[in-house]
Amino acid sequence: MSKRYEILPPAKAPARASPVTTLPDLPSSSGAIWGSAKTLIKKDTEYIKAHTEFLQARSAQATAMTSVINSRHDLALALVRMASLSEIAEFEHRRGRADRSHELAMQGMRHELVELNEEIALINARRVLAALTEPTRPEAPSQAASTSPLTIDDIEQVAQHLPELAPETVQAMILALKGLMSEKRK
């Protein structure tokens, strides 16, 4: 029959002004003083083993407590999410309604754009048809051409008698005027 030793919790450290992290003082002796050296070593070994089992149980207990705290935190978050379900549902409902109304507005604008493009095509087709069905009329001579007493030759003669114009400038000016007149006749 083995003897059971009672393990006492470690003594509390006195309060300090500033906290200092220290390692716990682990027991190395059972405190037994009677018996042979072999008996004392055996008692110390049994005491240290019992203290190790105690520390391992405390470690498991701390791990389990951490797990309980984390589980309670997760539960609290789930309860908060559950409490806000009506707000989330309302938000999703509004967002869905806004998306649907936006899509309907965009669809209406696309239809209007198609209608406007079709109207433009119709107007252009009517213009082409009107141009094709109109009787051709001979063009009347323009009033400006019939009332203008000057011709390009007259302008060339006057420009050649101006000493401040170089002959190359006069030739360039005459060519430009001839081009302009031919464009107006068309």
**Are 10 and 22 within 8 A, CB to CB?**
no
**150-180: pLDDT as tens digits:** 777 777 777 777 777 778 887 888 888 888 7
Helices (H), the chain: 37-83, 85-133, 143-147, 152-160, 167-185
Instruction: Kindly report the pTM of this predicted structure.
Output: 0.34
Block residue for tokens 């087709």: 125
Distance CA 18, CA 11 (A): 19
Instruction: Indicate the pLDDT class of residue 148, thresholds 50, 70 and 90.
Output: low
pLDDT at 153: 78
The residue ranking higher by pLDDT, 42 or 156, is 42
Per-residue tokens: 137: 């009329």
- Cα–Cα distance between 157 and 95 in angstroms, integer? 82
- Are 173 and 159 a contacting pair, CB within 8 Å? yes
